[in-house]
Amino acid sequence: MSAHDDGAAGDARGIGTRLAHTARRPADHHGFVNTPIHRGSTVLFPTLDALEGAMRGDTRRGPYIYGLIGNPNARELESMLAQLDGGAGAVVVQSGLAAVSVALLSMLGAGDHLLMTDSCYGPTRWLCTAVLPRMGIETTFYDPRIGAGIDAHFRPNTRLVFLESPGSLTFEVQDVPAIARAARARGVSTAIDNTWATPLRMRPVEHGVDIVVHALTKYQSGNSDILLGAVVARDEEHWKRVKQAAEWHGHYAHPDDCSTCLRGMRSLEVRLARHEASALEVARWLEARPEVARVLHPALPSHPDHAVWKRDFSGSSGLFGCVLRPHAAGREHTRAFLEGLRYFGMGFSWGGFESLVVASDVRASRAVVPWTDEGALLRFQIGLEDPRDLTADLAQAFERAR
């Protein structure tokens, strides 16, 4: 490996090799494999020229200026993220939700119009309904399955179309290329929350998307022990807007967290393969259960968007949903099922080593496409446990909840 191996654009090496060998510089750190953590705010300059030169430099490559604007740990992680997505640059921020907010605020201002998928993550919806209107930004929610039909929703002041595919509670897969094409034809930018797929399963930039959001809290860090987010920009113009929005709002990613996340990413390929295989095993098992009305997993042929998923994704991850058949005991039945589980923790987030389940009621939040299923909507995050133990756990919970 060379001392400065940042994985050039079009890098043909396998993903495991790139995850292991890019974004580290042992020769700069006495040979230590991993970069030490650089905590700090102030950066000292030996001369006035050096200080002024740093201020004019490119924060992706130039001298460091101030802790808020960049440090070696954030920059390494950003370089890894940009090369994985095939983007011009990345910015890491303190959470996935902060990354969503940076993506929105990088493109939108007073008088602008936003098109937001109706399947978006809950707090993304709250940003649109509670925060953006105070800034004079109007949101129209659209059917996630709209595809090229998005064209009918553009207004003269539409600046951004935001996608999330699949939706992280309801799992609709969007026709990303069709939406990106329609937006580009109108000179409108696109952004996507790609947390479910990660760049290992789908690279939205290759489908024409301008801005990619990741909650690194999930698979990239992989251990449920940090919060972190990133925004990757396709080209220089979007990169400048994203970087300014993050920096000028004071967003920041702690170097400890950047280092922890990069450590997680070294093993992302193998972890994701295990999450994927186990999730498919559990999803297929659930599909055969009489208590289950339908399983929401895009990689199953029964999923209504399976063909779109197959066309655009190279695989799946560990998060999927299912709808239980309506039960006479209603919520008490759901409670008995959830509280009887041994290996599935009840809690938010996903992408960690441990399995989780949450029940959600999306009926009140949908703006365009009503959610009509009557049975309980459950979301499973399948961790790294033995899937046979997970299905046995689910079987006993179904028995107890009868």
Ligand X SMILES: Cc1ncc(COP(=O)(O)O)c(C=O)c1O
Pick 121 or 219: Cβ nearer ligand X? 121
Least Å distance, CB 227 to ligand X, is 5
How far does Cα 48 stand from its chain's mean position? 41
Q: Which of residues 332-361 bind ligand X (CB under 6 A)?
A: 349
Which range touches ligand X (CB under 6 A), out of 46-54, 64-72, 96-104, 391-399? 96-104
Pick 22 or 316: Cβ nearer ligand X? 316
**Residue 97 interacting with ligand X (CB under 6 A):** yes
**Residue 118 interacting with ligand X (CB under 6 A):** no
Cα 151 from Cα 168, distance rounded (Å): 24
Pick 194 or 278: Cβ nearer ligand X? 194
Question: Is 116 in contact with 140 (CB distance < 8 Å)?
Answer: yes
**Residue 168 interacting with ligand X (CB under 6 A):** yes
Question: Is 313 in contact with 298 (CB distance < 8 Å)?
Answer: yes
Pick 22 or 195: Cβ nearer ligand X? 195
Pick 59 or 195: Cβ nearer ligand X? 195
Which range touches ligand X (CB under 6 A), out of 91-99, 285-293, 355-363, 381-389? 91-99
Cα 274 from Cα 388, distance rounded (Å): 13
Q: Which of residues 136-165 bind ligand X (CB under 6 A)?
A: 164
Q: Dmax of the chain from CA atoms?
A: 76
Which range touches ligand X (CB under 6 A), out of 79-87, 92-100, 293-301, 373-381? 92-100
Q: Which of residues 190-229 bind ligand X (CB under 6 A)?
A: 193, 195, 215, 217, 227, 229
**Residue 104 interacting with ligand X (CB under 6 A):** no
User: What mask of x and - would describe binding to ligand X in positions 252 to 291, judged by CB under 6 A?
Assistant: ----------------------------------------
Q: Residue 359, SS3? A: strand
Question: Is 151 in contact with 161 (CB distance < 8 Å)?
Answer: no
How would you list the strands of the sheet with 356-360, edge to edge?
Answer: 292-296, 319-324, 377-381, 356-360, 345-346
Q: What is the DSSP string of 230-278?
A: EEEESSHHHHHHHHHHHHHTT----HHHHHHHHHHHHTHHHHHHHHHHH
Least Å distance, CB 99 to ligand X, is 7
Element holding 139 (H helix, E strand): strand 138-142
Task: Tell me which of 22, 71, 79, 95 binds ligand X, using CB under 6 A.
Answer: 95
Which range touches ligand X (CB under 6 A), out of 90-98, 143-151, 233-241, 283-291? 90-98
Phi and psi angles of residue 382, each rounded to the nearest 5 degrees, phi first: -95, 120
Q: Scan for tokens 């998923």, then name that residue.
A: 309
Least Å distance, CB 273 to ligand X, is 21
Report CA torsion sign: 382, 386, 392, 397.
Answer: negative
Contacts of 266 (CB under 8 A, 6+ apart): 19, 20
Closest residue to ligand X using C-beta atoms:
96
Task: Tell me which of 96, 144, 177, 387 binds ligand X, using CB under 6 A.
Answer: 96
How many residues can be counted in the chain? 402
- For ligand X, the binding residues (CB under 6 A) are 95-97, 100, 121, 164, 168, 193, 195, 215, 217, 227, 229, 349
